[in-house]
Amino acid sequence: MKTICFYFELHQIRQLKRYRFFDIGSDHYYYDDYANESMTMELAEKSYVPALQTMLEMIRESNGAFKVAFSVSGTGLEMLELYAPQVIELLHEINKTGCCEFLCEPYSHGLSSLASKEVFMEEVMRQNRKIKELFGKKPKVLRNSGLIYSDEIGEMASQMGFKGMLSEGAKHILAWKSPHFVYNCALASNLKLLLRDYKLSDDISLRFSNPDWSEYPLFAETYIDWISQFPEEEQVINIFMNLSAIGMAQPLESHILDFLKALPACAAAKGITFSTPSEIIDNHKSVGPLEVPYPLSWMDEERDASSWLGNTLQREAFSKLYSVAERIMLTDDKKLKQDFDYLQAAENLRFMTTKQNGIITERCIYESPYDAFTNYMNILGDFLARVRAQYPDMDNEELGAMQQVIENQEVEIVQLEAEVEQLKTKLATKEKKAAKIFVFSTFGLFTAGMDALDKAYEEGLFTKIFTTNLAYRKPEILEKPWYVEVNMCKYVAHIIDTLNHDTTISSLLDPNTRIAKLLEKHRAELAE
């Protein structure tokens, strides 16, 4: 059965004011409050409020058949809380229906995933906590700024505990493959990928009200017919866009809301459902890994990072900003951290683009990319001076030492959290009367020592711990009654041999076939 996954982005940057070279050192406030208030209120009035009200009606009138996902940036939430709290209230109302899902993204809506693993992971987890506090649900699916994704970013998402990511169904990545399947990260098979159908998405967000478009006017029946005609095996249709497309890019006079309202009934008539990203991830198996060695995005024809980092101006600004990332991670100055969030916003670099792609580039107050660069670098000059005033003579070694102190504190926190989880496990074990509990870990480092594990084993909290031989194991671990070593020599040899023959390792990374064979073998042995 085919299912449609609707996802909408809600984001508003903190607009920068005109900042002269002579302001450096004397003016530390970089924002145009009037522009921020007026633009946020206009966005809420013309787009967010009518669009969200319509979706709430769609959920209620379809008796919960219509489902939707939202990703709200941290800076966007700040702007809405200040100037348009009615939008937050509507999101709460939709949340109460149980028919929506809130995704996670970098707090700043910036490009930290391309610059600093530490900054990226910190602001993603910070945003995760904010969404949990605000809506009562901890996001399980990650959406990066601009749908930016690569194998490395996917691996980071997996390390943070996410079960899925959203990205672009770009032709240069998919080739002959379809975006209407669930894939998985090439470096972390447990992270599933949902890919945007850019044509169907752009039909709504870019072309809907264009009278020169060959499909104009687009009706809900026609749109659903297109989806129903996809091959039977193509069951997942991902429609991703900015919420501002409804009401701003496509004005309300175009009847865009009437189009949306008609979708649930038209879909039901064709046996097509709606699902949230988590529901799709839980109910659909991956058809295989998707190899993305270089970042892709949903921007421009190239579907890469060139919209933000395509010229020398952008790369210079990007490099200067993240040159102080380690210092920002160390500081307790809330104002500096906040300014870093606002200056990271990807739009600040987008304003500097020199690409000629036939699409009108919104530059806000700037007359040209060079104007945007000059203003941003003036502000950045003052910001960097403030950062260096706190850490004037620190070299990389000193910064590393301070970072290590923080990391040690984080390790202590993790250990305490592990103790809490251990107690929870103990309680759950007693309640569920589990006979045996087995623990599996790829790299068993056992950095906290053996005493706690010995005690847990004696108390019956677990039966065995399985780890691979891919990391060093102390001799004392090998003698523990609860430890089992998994020999990976043959597996690694297969990988090396495959690489030496210049063939794909995809089949080796996918364990499904091997698991099925082992189960068959086991069942045959039991039958005998």
pLDDT of residue 151: 97
Determine the pLDDT at residue 156: 96
pLDDT over 70 at 499, yes or no: no
- Range(s) of the domain holding residue 493: 431-527
Q: Which residue, 134, 137, 145, 139, is CA-closest to 168?
A: 145
Q: Which of 270, 304, 338 is the last residue of a domain?
A: 304
The pLDDT of residue 414 is above 60:
no
Rounded to a whole number of angstroms, the CA Rg of the chain reads 26
Q: Is residue 250 classed as helix, strand or coil in its secondary structure?
A: strand
For the ranges 48-57, 149-158, 379-388, 409-418, the lowest mean pLDDT is seen at 409-418
> What pLDDT sits at residue 422?
62
pLDDT band at 423 (very low <50, low <70, confident <90, very high): low
Query: Which carries the bigger pLDDT value, residue 444 or residue 166?
Result: 166
Single-letter residue type at 98 = G
Assigned domain for 373 exists: no
CA pair distance 127, 153, nearest whole angstrom: 17
User: What distance in Å separates the CA atoms of residue 131 and residue 148, rounded to the nearest whole number?
Assistant: 21
How far apart, in Å, do the first and last CA atoms of the chain sit? 40
Place of tokens 């701003």: 248
pLDDT greater at residue 3 or residue 300? 3
Given a cut of 90, is residue 511 above it in pLDDT?
no
Is residue 227 one of the residues assigned to a domain? Answer: yes
CB 349 within 8 A of CB 308: yes
| CA 497 centroid distance within chain | 34
Check residue 213 and report its DSSP letter: S
**Residues 95-148 pLDDT 10s:** 999 999 999 999 999 999 999 999 999 999 999 999 999 999 899 999 999 999
Confirm whether 435 is domain-assigned: yes
Q: What is the enclosing helix (H) or strand (E) of 476?
A: helix 475-478
Cα distance between residue 184 and residue 172, in whole Å: 17
Q: What is the pLDDT of residues 203-256, one digit of tens each?
A: 999 999 999 999 999 999 999 999 999 999 999 999 999 999 999 999 999 999
Lowest mean pLDDT across 227-231, 309-313, 512-516: 512-516
What was the pLDDT predicted at 186?
96
Tokens for 48, please give them.
């967010």
Q: Is the link from the previous residue into 106 a cis peptide, with omega within 30 of 0?
A: no
pTM of the model: 0.75
Provide the pLDDT for residue 140: 96
Instruction: Judge if 299 and 435 occupy the same domain.
Output: no
Question: Per the domain annotation, does 406 fall within a domain?
Answer: no
pLDDT at residue number 308: 95
The pLDDT value given to residue 220: 97
Question: Which of 166, 146, 156, 144 lies closest to 187 in space, CA to CA?
Answer: 156
Asked if residue 246 and residue 111 are part of one domain, the reply reads: yes
- Per-residue pLDDT of 362-405, as tens digits, reads 777 899 999 999 999 999 999 999 999 988 755 555 555 545 54
Spatial separation of the C-alpha atoms in residues 184 and 158, rounded to whole Å = 11
Cα 40–42–44 angle (5° rounding)? 70
Considering the domain boundaries, does residue 363 fall inside one?
Answer: no
- In angstroms, the Cα distances linking 141 to 103, 146, 169, 279 are 5, 15, 17, 11
Over pLDDT 70: what percentage of the chain?
86
Determine the Cα–Cα distance for residues 194 and 141; give it in Å rounded to an integer. Answer: 10
The string of pLDDT tens digits covering residues 51-71 is 999 999 999 999 999 999 999
CA distance 224 to 366: 41
- Between residues 505 and 390, which one has the greater pLDDT? 390
**Predicted local confidence at residue 496, as pLDDT:** 73
Residue 153 lies in a domain: yes
Q: Let me know: does 44 contact 87? Beta carbons within 8 Å.
A: yes
Tokens 């198996």 — which residue? 285
Q: State the angle between helix axes of 151-159 and 117-135 in degrees (0 to 180), rounded to the nearest 10.
A: 50
Cα(370)–Cα(306) distance, rounded to whole angstroms? 17
**Which residue reads 């900042």 in tokens?**
19
pLDDT at 518: 73
Q: Specify whether the CB–CB gap between 332 and 354 falls below 8 A.
A: no
pLDDT at 420 (0 to 100)? 59
- Over residues 330-344, the mean pLDDT reads 95
Geometric angle at alpha carbon 321, from 315 and 326, rounded to 5°: 125
Please state, for a pLDDT cut of 90, what percent of the chain lies above it. 69
pLDDT at 415: 55
Give the residues across from 192 on adjacent strands: 164, 184
CATH code for the domain of 168: 3.20.110.20
DSSP secondary structure letter of residue 47: I
394 lies in some domain: no
| pLDDT mean across residues, the chain | 88
Q: Is the pLDDT of residue 417 over 90?
A: no
Q: Which residue has the higher pLDDT, 524 or 448?
A: 524
Helices 220-228/198-205 angle, 10° precision: 180
pLDDT digits (tens, 9 = 90+) for 428-484: 655 666 678 888 877 777 766 677 788 888 877 778 888 888 777 777 788 888 888
Give the DSSP H/E element, type plus range, for residue 485: strand 483-486
Number of domains present in the structure of the chain: 2
Rounded (10°) angle between helices 396-432 and 451-458: 10
Angle at 141 between CA 1 and CA 87, to 5 degrees: 95
- 3 state DSSP class of 176: coil
Say what the pLDDT of residue 453 is: 80
Determine the pLDDT at residue 36. 95
pLDDT at 488: 78
- Give the residue from 259, 278, 304 where a domain finishes: 304
> Would you say residue 364 lies in a domain?
no
Long-range contacts of 252-256 (CB under 8 A, 24+ apart): 252/46, 252/50, 254/208, 254/209, 255/217, 256/204, 256/208, 256/209
Give the residue with greater pLDDT, 351 vs 357.
Answer: 351
In angstroms, the CA 130 to CA 110 distance is 17
pLDDT at residue 45 is higher than 90:
yes
Q: pLDDT tens across 171-208, in order?
A: 999 999 999 999 999 999 999 999 999 999 999 999 99
Last residue of a domain, one of 271, 304, 337: 304
